[in-house]
Structure 1
């Protein structure tokens, strides 16, 4: 029996437009009390979030689309803001960077991920950094993202889900390990006219954070594949 493909309905999650999967009855597809969403229909990445966090869009703006349409049709419908929102916080006109570090074991094979937003432009970074701790990976992700910025007169906002990185770089925590790395990042930060670091909750459906996490995880997998004998 052929499985029915879902219909994707326009909804809003924390101020961001998303697509929610619904069945043929028009009701959300539920799994463990969570609903299936996508930020972009032409991408394979899907997330499961609690239904109570979703809001219906005004009927005048409401859009639905069958998932079996051609990708080119989907692209014409998707509205893609240049920056991802952060719940009730807003970023100034400038560059937003979401970063994440990941490791398989602590320490273990590690990867970093970052996505930079500037207006309608964005850049993804996914890099394997060898054997490291999770804290080192989180710091390296921030450093790598900042090094990508050429015009340091622009306001920059960094979003990290690492309490450690946020603490040693922004809250005055004393670094007892990774001292040289922390010092180098602080020196780099001092070269920017205006830079703010926000701590966000990880794995909470925030698009930029989810993308950075995926990029960091993919970096580990790619690094492991290179070491596997053919």
Structure 2
């Protein structure tokens, strides 16, 4: 019995079964060498991967028929974790239906210069965006301010939160113990805010790599600066 759905095809990706977007003829829909995948068809998020990383389910070594992607079990409050560079972890986090998905970005024209932040929050079928000018700042400050604004926007801190940023600096300063020479007070304030959440994880994603939500956050940050110039 076929497991395919019009427009999507069942394949294996890193030992997980995923849905892969297909064209009218049933072939993979490739753009810039990558294809869209979803872990569940009804999830609001998508992820782009290289077509070479996919394989048919009936090929040896493919994911078994019983393979499933499960949301992590609820745990006691823990510090944010870094899964930078692990595409499978990022994709799995984006597939967690019970979590608030947060995408942040910051931009500065001149670095330092006029700066803005962009935030996209998704919970179920609800979305909220933030596009805000923050004055004269560096790009690193804008990235941190975007994360701060996103966390302040979330009122129910008992819900799991998955935050995605393309800023290695922010991830390192907030979760990896990097010794910051600047922005010390801002970083400490955000870390204090992070500790008020029961289940918060921060992920590093690659910027300008086709992730729709990250591109939206980038656009919101840039628009905040552009509106000032108009």
CA contact (8 A) 1:28 1:35 kept: no
User: Where do residues 109-120 of structure 1 align in structure 2 (5 Å cutoff)?
Assistant: 109-120=114-125
1:129 is aligned, of 134, 141, 158, to: 134
1:167 is aligned, of 147, 151, 172, to: 172
Verify: 1:183 aligned to 2:179, yes or no: no
User: Where do residues 36-55 of structure 1 align in structure 2 (5 Å cutoff)?
Assistant: 51-52=51-52
Verify: 1:154 aligned to 2:159, yes or no: yes
Verify: 1:102 aligned to 2:104, yes or no: no
Across the two proteins, how many residue pairs are aligned to each other?
182
Q: CA deviation at 1:27?
A: 7.5
Aligned to 2:88: 88
Deviations 1:91-120 (A, max 9, x none): 353222121112222112222222222223
Unpaired segments ≥5 residues, structure 2: 1-5, 39-47, 58-85
DSSP 3-state at the match of 1:100? strand
Change (3 A) 1:88 1:178: same
CA distance in 2: counterparts of 1:166 and 1:54, whole angstroms: 29
Aligned to 2:213: 211
CA distance in 1: counterparts of 2:147 and 2:138, whole angstroms: 15
Q: TM-score, normalised by structure 1?
A: 0.61
Change (3 A) 1:131 1:148: same
CA distance in 1: counterparts of 2:110 and 2:18, whole angstroms: 34
Deviations 1:106-162 (A, max 9, x none): 112222222222223222222222221111111111111111111111122211121
CA distance in 2: counterparts of 1:29 and 1:153, whole angstroms: 39
CA distance in 2: counterparts of 1:103 and 1:170, whole angstroms: 23
Deviations 1:151-180 (A, max 9, x none): 111122211121111111101112210111
- Cα RMSD of the aligned pairs, angstroms, is 3.7
Unpaired segments ≥5 residues, structure 1: 1-7, 40-47, 58-85
Aligned to 1:196: 201
CA distance in 2: counterparts of 1:129 and 1:99, whole angstroms: 14
Larger RCO: Structure 1 or Structure 2 (Cα < 8 Å, ≥ 6 residues apart)?
Answer: 2
CA distance in 1: counterparts of 2:12 and 2:137, whole angstroms: 35
CA contact (8 A) 2:106 2:221 kept: no
CA contact (8 A) 2:100 2:122 kept: yes
Aligned to 1:78: none
CA contact (8 A) 1:107 1:131 kept: yes
DSSP 3-state at the match of 1:102? strand
